[in-house]
């Protein structure tokens, strides 16, 4: 017996159901961690759905999912220490507000008096930088130079040159700092000792690289690169070897951060 047009239409509907179910499974598995080791996921901002949303990426498989799915813009975000929540700045028109995304639930307005870690976003937006784990030190950029603010020693200037040094980020043991700089022409990723000495260049492809962030084991840097005509998420080893592209799309991805 030959299959009818109605049979083919039924198969198409069934295929759509399975695809949608698969998408739900991917989002749920990403959010729950699905048995992944700590630090195997990366949150980042992306414009793929028309506005800036927060996405979650499985660094091993390359699968990603849109967490916030908002028609409005999301801006800076910050992981909670337990890796179960993401605090972020959400815009309704021109009005910003603090929100929390529960990876096992959904987005909700934040209460800064109850969730003090979220309120740190308000300080992170004007000056890009990174806090030490005990909150006693902050490495940050100001006027294309990198500084450390220490509650005991005051302000220390770490770089002093005519180039643009930006987006500093502590290594897990806070002995090294990753940053972006155009000191060799294009904006590339570098690391240096916490006192500003022993600077090493990790990327050198001639495109713009920025927003470096350390992996939890201190063995890799995740960053954004424009070498593919859009801004994509990459990783690289500390000796500059094995650069790897994690996102492949025609939109802009930015500001990656490993899940604690």
Confidence at residue 259, expressed as pLDDT on a 0 to 100 scale: 93
Does residue 32 sit in the same domain as residue 80? yes
Six token digits for residue 152: 């005991």
Last residue of a domain, one of 81, 102, 124: 124
- Judge if 94 and 162 occupy the same domain: no
Question: 94 with 183, same domain?
Answer: no
- Structural domain that includes position 153: 127-260
CA of residue 86 relative to chain centroid, distance: 11
| Sign, Cα dihedral of 195, 201, 203, 205 | positive
**Whether residue 168 sits in one domain with residue 89:** no
170, two tokens: 């502590």
- Note the pLDDT of residue 152: 87
Cα 162 from Cα 145, distance rounded (Å): 9
Cα→Cα distances 147→10, 31, 32, 44, 246, Å: 63, 35, 37, 25, 30
pLDDT tens per residue, range 150-180: 988 899 999 999 999 999 999 999 999 999 9
Q: Clarify whether residues 166 and 78 are in a common domain.
A: no
- Which of 86, 103, 124 marks a domain boundary? 124
The pLDDT score that the predictor gives to residue 233 is 95
**Residue 39: its pLDDT value, please?**
62
Are 113 and 184 within one domain?
Answer: no
Regarding whether 248 and 154 lie in a shared domain, the answer is: yes
What's the domain count of the chain? 2
The pTM of this model reads 0.81
pLDDT attached to residue 119: 77
Same domain, 132 and 120: no
Angle at CA of residue 257, ends 95 and 115, nearest 5°: 50
Residue 86: partners with Cβ closer than 8 Å, 6 or more residues away: 43, 54, 67, 77, 78, 79, 80, 100, 101, 103
Domain boundary residue among 71, 97, 124?
Answer: 124
Same domain, 173 and 193: yes
Whole-number CA gyration radius for the chain: 20
Please, are residues 30 and 63 in contact by the beta-carbon 8 Å criterion? yes
Tokens of 174: 């806070």
Q: Which residues pair with 138 in a beta bridge?
A: 131, 149
Residue 17 and residue 140 in one domain: no
Same domain, 260 and 136: yes
Tell which residue, 118, 128, 131, 211, has the closest CA to residue 170: 131
Please indicate, yes or no, whether residues 94 and 60 belong to a single structural domain of this protein.
Answer: yes
Residue 3's pLDDT is 40
User: Long-range contacts for 89-95 (Cβ within 8 Å, ≥24 apart)?
Assistant: 89/121, 89/125
Q: Provide the pLDDT for residue 127.
A: 58
Phi then psi for residue 57, to 5 deg, are: -120, 130
Alpha helices (H) in the chain, listed in sequence order: 5-32, 116-119, 121-124
Residue with tokens 């450390």: 148
Distance between CA atoms of 125 and 209, rounded to whole angstroms? 20
Question: Where would I find the H helices in 68-120?
Answer: 116-119
The CATH number of whichever domain residue 169 belongs to comes to 2.120.10.30
How much is the pLDDT for 35? 46
Closest CA relative to residue 134, chosen from 81, 71, 82? 81
Tokens for 123? 């300080």
pLDDT, one tens digit for every residue, the chain (260 residues) = 444 444 334 333 433 332 333 333 334 445 544 444 556 899 999 999 889 999 999 988 778 899 988 888 888 898 988 889 999 988 888 888 889 999 877 788 888 777 888 877 776 665 567 888 888 888 999 999 999 999 888 999 999 999 999 999 999 999 999 999 999 999 999 999 999 999 999 999 889 999 999 999 999 999 999 998 899 999 999 999 999 999 998 899 999 999 98
- For residue 2, the model assigns a pLDDT of 43
- Round the average pLDDT of the chain to a whole number and report it: 82
pLDDT of residue 123: 67
As a whole number of angstroms, the longest Cα–Cα distance in the chain is 85
């Amino acid at each position: 017996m030959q299959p009818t047009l109605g049979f083919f239409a039924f198969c198409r509907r069934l295929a759509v159901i399975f695809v949608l179910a698969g998408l739900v499974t991917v989002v749920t598995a990403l959010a729950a961690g699905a048995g992944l080791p700590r630090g195997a996921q990366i949150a980042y901002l992306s414009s793929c759905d028309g506005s800036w949303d927060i996405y979650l990426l499985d660094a091993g498989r390359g699968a990603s999912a849109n967490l916030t799915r908002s028609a409005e813009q999301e801006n800076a975000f910050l992981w909670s220490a337990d890796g179960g929540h993401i605090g972020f700045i959400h815009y309704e028109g021109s009005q910003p507000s603090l929100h929390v995304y529960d990876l096992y639930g959904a987005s909700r307005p934040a209460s800064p008096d109850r969730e003090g870690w979220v309120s740190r976003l308000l300080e992170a937006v004007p000056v890009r930088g990174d806090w030490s784990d005990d909150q006693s030190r902050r490495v940050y950029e100001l006027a294309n130079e990198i500084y450390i603010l220490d509650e005991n020693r005051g302000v220390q200037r770490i770089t002093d040159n005519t180039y643009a040094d930006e987006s500093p980020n502590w290594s897990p043991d806070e002995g090294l700092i990753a940053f972006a700089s155009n000191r060799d022409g294009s904006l590339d990723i570098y690391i240096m000792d916490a006192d500003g000495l022993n600077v090493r260049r990790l990327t050198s492809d001639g495109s713009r690289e920025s927003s470096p962030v350390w992996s939890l084991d201190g063995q890799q840097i995740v960053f954004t690169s424009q070498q593919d005509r859009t801004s994509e998420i990459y990783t690289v080893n500390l000796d500059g070897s094995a650069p790897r592209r994690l996102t492949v799309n025609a939109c802009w991805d930015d500001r990656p951060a490993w899940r604690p």
